[in-house]
Amino acid sequence: MKILFASAEAHPLIKTGGLADVTGSLPRAIRNLRHDIRVIIPAYQSVLKQQEKFTLVAHLELEGVAQPVRILAGRLPGSTVTLYLVDSPEHFDRPGNPYTLKQGAVWPDNAERFTTFCRAVEALSMDAAGLDWQPDIVHCNDWQTGLVPPLLARHLPRPASLFTIHNLAYQGLYDWKVFKKLKLPADFWSMEAMEFHNQFSFIKGGLVFADWITTVSPTYAMEIQTSEFGYGLEGLISHRTDTLSGIVNGVDYSVWNPGRDLHIPVQFNARSLTHKIENKQALQEHFRLPVDENIPIFATISRLVEQKGIDLILDIVPQLVKQNAQLIVLGSGDSKLEAGIRAAVKAHPKRVAAHIGYDESLSHHIEAGADIFLMPSRFEPCGLNQIYSQRYGTVPIVRNTGGLADTVTDTTPETLAAKTATGFSFNAATSSALLEAVDRALGYYRQPAIWQQLVCTGMKQDFSWKHSAQLYIKLYETILARRADEAVAESA
Ligand code: ADP
């Protein structure tokens, strides 16, 4: 199959979140299964600075875009996957991250920037760039690519389209004045298309016009059909339930492998768990906490935002302290949450430690040295740290939602007997429900034989990309077969 994978981010070239990790690794896994997948992202200034080996392959005039754009071609780092860059200097040759200035203010012309990107993806999808290559399927990701399915829907014949939601909270909403500037077909502003409560919604383009929709976990695919998680889009999404499914993200075990991880003081595996204790002691030293292998260490590594339930963790600090546990936090974000964490460290310097900031290397060390990972997210499309934690023998406590529900098996007498238990989950997004799970976990922590079983079962879990890539390939085949049937009907 020929697949064009469109995304606003790709690790290691440009990253603000999990979307970049998926773009950096899923196409490689699909390529390894012998499909011709190519990735397309905008030519941000920082991407062009990093890689010199891009060649100019096309000049494109795009409908509604004043200046012609250039298409550059290179490789996705560490792979043989072709990477196309949409080079439109007026839109992408600027500092900062894909969506904001360095100081965090959103670029005022984001709607124009990503409309240009979508127009270019449309052109490549229709083989209008003179590359002599046309995809069978265009795989779009998140709101920045939301206009690709409606733009493609105007062509016949056309490639099939898949739209993946990595986080429904980000939708690309703009008012009428902005919509006018985009020079899109007038009928795009209608309730049946992208209009949403008197705003123009990029994500609605994907939700209405893509041939299929996926989310990054099966549970999140169910949840976004309810008012609790749907942001008012739940009616539309449930209408598409026959063409909606969830595939859990994979993780990159060449980066997250405690047996080979050079970020951690001592490498270890399930047969050398004493080395995990050495990492624990080094972690306690690093954070100037009392060094004692018998003190359970709770940890969290996260963007500090409401979604992640960090406030629930702060609520239970007194109880963790009473239980003689330690808590380590790595993260940055919301200033109120940062202040709350600083206050907890100040109140309990021998019990609570934190690094406010982003530190990839430290995140590996925390995974290796902690005993229990806290992830009480209010919603979680997939989540990665609960998966890394399992591989590092750090037992996760998660809220029973989204990808957390799909990747962690709660510990019960039954799951212990079946040797499937990998962590602890709780339902209500309240500190008392979190505390109840913490107490359950501590009860088992004090029974070393059972705890070791939990640790080892977690370490054996396989969430590699290969499995998820196979699921995507099967889905591409399903979508293509359906599209072929529809195309016959449309041309009749
Ligand atoms: P999200 O994409 O919603 O932020 P995920 O769990 O899917 O959440 O992915 C977050 C990724 O970012 C993980 O790899 C996590 O380890 C990493 N991360 C988050 N905050 C930090 C931080 N402060 N330092 C290092 N890594 C972090």
β-pair partners for 299: 328, 373
Mind listing the pLDDT tens digit for each residue in 69-98?
999 999 999 899 999 999 999 999 998 889
Size (the chain), residues: 492
Mind listing the pLDDT tens digit for each residue in 280-329?
999 999 999 999 999 999 999 999 999 999 999 999 999 999 999 999 99
- The atom number, within ligand 1, closest to the CA of 384 reads 6
Evaluate whether 181 touches 209 at the Cβ level (below 8 Å).
no
Mean pLDDT of the chain: 96
Whether the CB of 18 sits within 6 Å of ligand 1: yes
The pLDDT score that the predictor gives to residue 490 is 82
Indicate whether 443 and 376 sit together in one domain. yes
Mind listing the pLDDT tens digit for each residue in 140-175?
999 999 999 999 999 999 999 999 999 999 999 999
The pLDDT score that the predictor gives to residue 102 is 73
Alpha carbon distance 279, 441 (integer Å) = 21
- Choosing from 301, 358, 362 the residue with most ligand 1 atoms within 8 A of its CB, the one to mutate for a pocket test is 301
Alpha carbon distance 8, 57 (integer Å) = 20
pLDDT > 80? residue 103: no
pLDDT > 80? residue 429: yes
Indicate whether 221 and 316 sit together in one domain. no
In a domain, 394, yes or no: yes
Indicate whether 199 and 337 sit together in one domain. no
CA of 308 to the centre of ligand 1 (A): 11
Q: Where does the pLDDT of residue 489 fall: very low under 50, low under 70, confident under 90, or very high at 90 and above?
A: confident
Whether the CB of 301 sits within 6 Å of ligand 1: yes
pTM of this prediction?
A: 0.94
Residue with tokens 């920045």: 144
Mind listing the pLDDT tens digit for each residue in 340-376?
999 999 999 999 999 999 899 999 999 999 999 999 9
Whether the CB of 176 sits within 6 Å of ligand 1: no
Atom 19 of ligand 1: nearest residue by CA position: 302
Whether the CB of 359 sits within 6 Å of ligand 1: yes
Indicate whether 449 and 475 sit together in one domain. no
CA of 414 to the centre of ligand 1 (A): 32
CA of 4 to the centre of ligand 1 (A): 27
In a domain, 197, yes or no: yes
Indicate whether 278 and 405 sit together in one domain. yes
Nearest to 241 by CA among 215, 276, 262: 215
Alpha carbon distance 228, 302 (integer Å) = 23
- The atom number, within ligand 1, closest to the CA of 307 reads 3
The pLDDT score that the predictor gives to residue 271 is 95
In a domain, 78, yes or no: yes
Q: Where does the pLDDT of residue 452 fall: very low under 50, low under 70, confident under 90, or very high at 90 and above?
A: very high
Helix ranges restricted to H, 300-447:
310-315, 317-322, 335-347, 360-369, 385-391, 402-407, 413-417, 431-445
Question: What range defines the domain where residue 301 resides?
Answer: 274-462
Mind listing the pLDDT tens digit for each residue in 399-408?
999 999 999 9
In total, how many domains does the chain have? 2
Whether the CB of 216 sits within 6 Å of ligand 1: no
Indicate whether 137 and 69 sit together in one domain. yes
What's the distance, CA 40 to chain centroid?
18
Q: CB 290: neighbour CB atoms within 10 A?
A: 10
Indicate whether 347 and 239 sit together in one domain. no
In a domain, 237, yes or no: yes
pLDDT > 90? residue 50: no
Indicate whether 214 and 288 sit together in one domain. no
The pLDDT score that the predictor gives to residue 104 is 74
Indicate whether 204 and 285 sit together in one domain. no
Nearest to 388 by CA among 403, 368, 371: 368
Residue type, 431: S
Alpha carbon distance 348, 338 (integer Å) = 16
CATH number at residue 287: 3.40.50.2000
- C-alpha separations of 208 from 117, 305, 324, 399 in Å: 19, 29, 52, 30
Least confident span in 32-46, 50-64, 278-292: 50-64
pLDDT > 80? residue 250: yes
- Residue 299, both tokens: 């940890």
- C-alpha separations of 443 from 60, 78, 134, 281, 439 in Å: 64, 44, 58, 22, 6
Atom 20 of ligand 1: nearest residue by CA position: 302
Whether the CB of 363 sits within 6 Å of ligand 1: yes
The pLDDT score that the predictor gives to residue 430 is 98
In a domain, 257, yes or no: no
Please give the average per-residue pLDDT across 36-45, as a whole number. 97
CA of 303 to the centre of ligand 1 (A): 6
In a domain, 27, yes or no: yes
Q: Which helix (H) or strand (E) holds 73?
A: strand 69-75
- The atom number, within ligand 1, closest to the CA of 386 reads 6
Indicate whether 313 and 195 sit together in one domain. no
Whether the CB of 331 sits within 6 Å of ligand 1: yes
Atom 24 of ligand 1: nearest residue by CA position: 358
In a domain, 53, yes or no: yes
The pLDDT score that the predictor gives to residue 16 is 86
Indicate whether 20 and 91 sit together in one domain. yes
Q: Are strands 199-201 and 173-174 parallel, antiparallel or unpaired?
A: antiparallel
- Choosing from 141, 302, 366 the residue with most ligand 1 atoms within 8 A of its CB, the one to mutate for a pocket test is 302
Whether the CB of 15 sits within 6 Å of ligand 1: no
In a domain, 266, yes or no: no
CA of 359 to the centre of ligand 1 (A): 10
The pLDDT score that the predictor gives to residue 374 is 98
Indicate whether 242 and 200 sit together in one domain. yes
The pLDDT score that the predictor gives to residue 433 is 98
The pLDDT score that the predictor gives to residue 491 is 79
CA of 302 to the centre of ligand 1 (A): 5
